[in-house]
Amino acid sequence: MEKVLLIIIALSGLSAASSHAERQYHFVSEAKSMSEAQRYCREKHTDLATVDSMEVVKLLNDMAGQHNQSAWIGLHDDRDTWRWSMSDPSFYGPGETEFRPWGTGGLNNGHNDQCTYLDSYGTGAWLDYDCNGHLRAICFDVTGPNAAFVPIYSILTWTEAQSYCREHHTDLASVRNKAENRQIFELVSEGFYWIGLYRDAWKWSDGSNSSFKYWAEKKPNLSALKVCVTADFDNFGKWDYLDCGVERPFICYGPVVPVSMQVIKVRVQKPNGVDLNDPAFLAAMLVEAKKNLRAQGLDDNVQLAWRKQPDGQVFHKEEEEKRDEL
């Protein structure tokens, strides 16, 4: 009769933990679309991976190892989330934060068109535009529910206009309804004027507000309407983008799960002519052991391993008297 110790280790496949973020990342090699990957991560773990530091970039590169391909992370381009620079909810009545008199042609919808201006040459319609463009601006001073609009004729970027308005007035103008839009149109001279409506198009799946970016060279440079982001492990994990419907492996994250280990004793009646310490025999026994344990409800993330004795052997012949004592 031979005896051996079988170690049961509770681990999770191809995974690694980030020390500073207290998150465990999981590389899933099965290719899925972005929405399918997101659904899987939310069901099995927490969400698609948020990559918020170079520590996490290095960890994912190390974890991906031989997987020299791109994999979805949780970043995507959300072009429908518009908000006002003046964020106090008490200033807006029902539906007033959604007032949008866009121009006849609608939105340009380019990724870099993330700020809004009012066109006073025509009817006071709004258009989206690159925030780095240089235009005039409209500030406002808020007193209770009322607002007094103030045109600024200096040529500024949207961010410069926001800073100026916050320093000298209340904020860049929020325009809550047709009456206020008409009021501004009649107040200003002809031109293009920044107002306070903007969007931050890049969003993390879990709602994180990390500003960390790790784009590949000359990225992003977008034209597609709906894009999602991959980490390209052929290029040091740098970020690229694809149509969200393309199927790729993906990376999830969840809370760090402590590793637990259980050791059990196994006795085996040695078959004639079989070396119990032969690596092929040991591997085959582990496969059968895991099948049996899975049939009893064992989680697929559990791993099995043999414990070797000090002499490097797994099995030793059990002396009769010691066996009788056990």
CA 90 to chain centre: 32
**Domain with 239 in it: what CATH number?**
3.10.100.10
The pLDDT assigned to 215 comes to 87
For residue 313, tell me if it sits in a domain: yes
Cα–Cα distance list, 13 to 27, 299, 308 (Å): 8, 11, 22
Comparing CA positions, the residue from 67, 3, 6 lying closest to residue 303 is 6
Q: Indicate whether 89 and 141 sit together in one domain.
A: yes
Q: How many helices (H) and strands (E) does the chain have?
A: 6, 19
The first and second tokens of residue 207, run together, are 């709602």
Residue 324 to residue 258: CA distance in whole angstroms: 37
Along the chain (326 residues), what's the average pLDDT of each consecutive run of 10 residues? 41 47 83 96 94 90 80 86 90 93 76 85 89 95 93 95 96 96 94 92 85 78 69 92 92 76 65 74 76 64 67 67 44
169 shares a domain with 153: yes
Q: What is the pTM of this model?
A: 0.53
Tokens of 113: 């068109």
Last residue of a domain, one of 240, 255, 270: 255
- The whole-number pLDDT of residue 265 equals 67
DSSP string, 194-207: EEEEE---EEETT-
pLDDT at residue number 196: 96
Domain carrying residue 267: 2-11+258-325
Task: Judge whether 16 lies within some domain.
Answer: no
Shared domain for 50 and 72, answered yes or no, is yes
Give Cβ neighbours of residue 93 (< 8 Å, ≥ 6 apart): 176
Number of structural domains the chain divides into: 3
Does 18 reside within a domain? no
